[in-house]
Amino acid sequence: MTLKALIFDVDGTLSDTERDGHRPAFNAAFAEVGVDWHWDEALYGKLLAVTGGKERIKYYVESFLPPERRPQNIEQLAADIHRIKTRCYMELVSQGGLPLRPGVRRLLEDARAAGLRLAIATTTTPANVAALLQHSLGAGTESWFEVIAAGDIVPAKKPAPDIYVWALDALKLAPTECVAFEDSGNGIRASLGAGIPTLVSVNGYTLDDQFDGALAVVSDLGEPEAPCQVLQGDLTGASIIDVALLKRWSD
Ligand code: XBP
Ligand code: MG
């Protein structure tokens, strides 16, 4: 099939947002609400097994707190904490501390020049996506993405395929007319579950995840002066992830 669109995950793929973005935002929200929880880097890596901030809070309470320390009204508390956390995260992003990963801007610009359509499929909230695009890619770049499928618009979050199916429906494209970009095991299970060929760029939290079925697994999308490392698959001679390579994979 002819490649028509690129669908990007956000957290861990466009930018390495988890350790220094979402995690401190959760901790700031806990402090503001007055619960004595603290998610250090190691614990957060375990909690990333569950996607979705509200779902992750509930997972923490149920799986990491002893029964006597579990709050009664966890549904309401998780929602309240998550609303505060999102505000904290957006404030953090607006301070410019979360840059794009290597090769992301280059590939987005090349894809636009080549007439490929762009979309996002993410578990995080639309507000977080807007803030990250504005402050890392630039003002007005949200309009580069024809479809932004984010957060609670689908009943089941990644690894369920729902968010990718939603994006395909909105794009009116077949899965094999697209390539998805992911960073995690949950993410590739979602994109492959929707039948979309998937390129994985790993980060500190996802290096040891399982990526069976990926087009390839790389350290990042690469820059001409800083080629990516190939951890799985064959870039057929390419040293960066570019439009020509994606088209070769799709033919
Ligand atoms: C990553 C997630 C999100 C973020 C936190 O999403 O699972 O839950 O960790 O953001 P993706 P929220 O990799 O699909 O972009 O608190 O807004 O969920
Ligand atoms: Mg991700």
Q: What is the dihedral of CA 116, 120, 121, 126, to 10 degrees?
A: -160
For residue 75, how far is its CA from the centre of ligand 2 (angstroms)? 24
Ligand 1 atom at shortest distance from the alpha carbon of 26: 16
Handedness of CA 172, 175, 177, 180 (dihedral sign): positive
The verdict on pTM exceeding 0.85 is yes
Environment of ion ligand 2 (residues, CB < 5 A): 9, 11-12, 183-184, 187
pLDDT reported for residue 138: 97
pLDDT reported for residue 103: 98
Please tell me the distance from the alpha carbon of residue 216 to that of residue 102, in angstroms, as a whole number: 16
pLDDT reported for residue 42: 98
Q: Going by DSSP bridges, is the β-strand pair 147-150/117-122 parallel, antiparallel, or unpaired?
A: parallel
Q: 101 exposed, middle or buried (CB, 10 Å; 0-12, 13-18, 19+)?
A: buried
- The domain limits of the chain are 5-15+99-250, 18-94
As a whole number, the mean pLDDT across the chain is: 98
Contact 214/233 with Cβ under 8 angstroms?
yes
Q: Determine the CATH number of domain 5-15+99-250.
A: 3.40.50.1000
HSE at residue 200, side-chain half, CA atoms within 13 A, is 28
- For 110-158, write each residue's pLDDT tens digit: 999 999 999 999 999 999 999 999 999 999 999 999 999 999 999 999 9
Spatial strand order in the sheet of 198-201: 147-150, 117-122, 5-8, 178-182, 198-201, 216-218, 230-233
Ligand 1 atom at shortest distance from the alpha carbon of 9: 15
Under DSSP, the state recorded for 177 is: G
pLDDT reported for residue 127: 97
For residue 22, how far is its CA from the centre of ligand 1 (angstroms)? 8
- For 4-36, write each residue's pLDDT tens digit: 999 999 999 999 999 999 999 999 999 999 999
Superfamily covering domain 18-94? Putative phosphatase; domain 2 (1.10.150.240)
pLDDT band at 71 (very low <50, low <70, confident <90, very high): very high
Q: Region 207-236: what's the mean pLDDT?
A: 98
pLDDT reported for residue 164: 99
Count CB neighbours of 64 within 10 A.
14
- Minimal-distance CA residue to ligand 1 atom 13: 11
Q: Which ligand is nearest to the CA of 150?
A: 1
Q: Which of 51, 88, 136, 162 to mutate to test the pocket of ligand 1 (most atoms within 8 A of CB)?
A: 51
- For 31-57, write each residue's pLDDT tens digit: 999 999 999 999 999 999 999 999 999
Between vectors from CA 61 to CA 57 and to CA 65, what angle results, nearest 5°? 140
- pLDDT above 90 covers a percentage of the chain that reads 99
b/e map of 169-203 (b: 16 or more CB within 10 Å)? eebebebebbbbbbbbbbbbbbbbbbbbbbbbbbb
Q: Going by DSSP bridges, is the β-strand pair 5-8/117-122 parallel, antiparallel, or unpaired?
A: parallel
pLDDT reported for residue 1: 80
Under DSSP, the state recorded for 104 is: H
Q: Which ligand is nearest to the CA of 84?
A: 1
Residue 195 has pLDDT above 90, yes or no: yes
Ligand 1 atom at shortest distance from the alpha carbon of 184: 13
pLDDT reported for residue 142: 98
Q: Residue 16's closest CA among 157, 190, 132?
A: 132
Q: Residue 80's closest CA among 117, 26, 160?
A: 26
Which residues line ligand 1 at a C-beta cut-off of 6 Å?
9-12, 18, 22, 51-53, 122-125, 128, 158, 187
For residue 191, how far is its CA from the centre of ligand 2 (angstroms)? 11
Residue 247 has pLDDT above 90, yes or no: yes
Q: Which ligand is nearest to the CA of 184?
A: 2
- pLDDT above 70 covers a percentage of the chain that reads 100
Has 234 been annotated as catalytic?
no
Residue 202 has pLDDT above 90, yes or no: yes
Three-state secondary structure call for residue 71: coil
Has 80 been annotated as catalytic?
no
Q: Region 153-180: what's the mean pLDDT?
A: 98
For residue 12, how far is its CA from the centre of ligand 2 (angstroms)? 5
Residue 180 has pLDDT above 90, yes or no: yes
Count CB neighbours of 207 within 10 A.
11
C-alpha to C-alpha distances, 137 to 112, 152, 220, nearest whole angstrom: 14, 24, 17
pLDDT reported for residue 5: 98
- Minimal-distance CA residue to ligand 1 atom 4: 124
For residue 18, how far is its CA from the centre of ligand 2 (angstroms)? 9
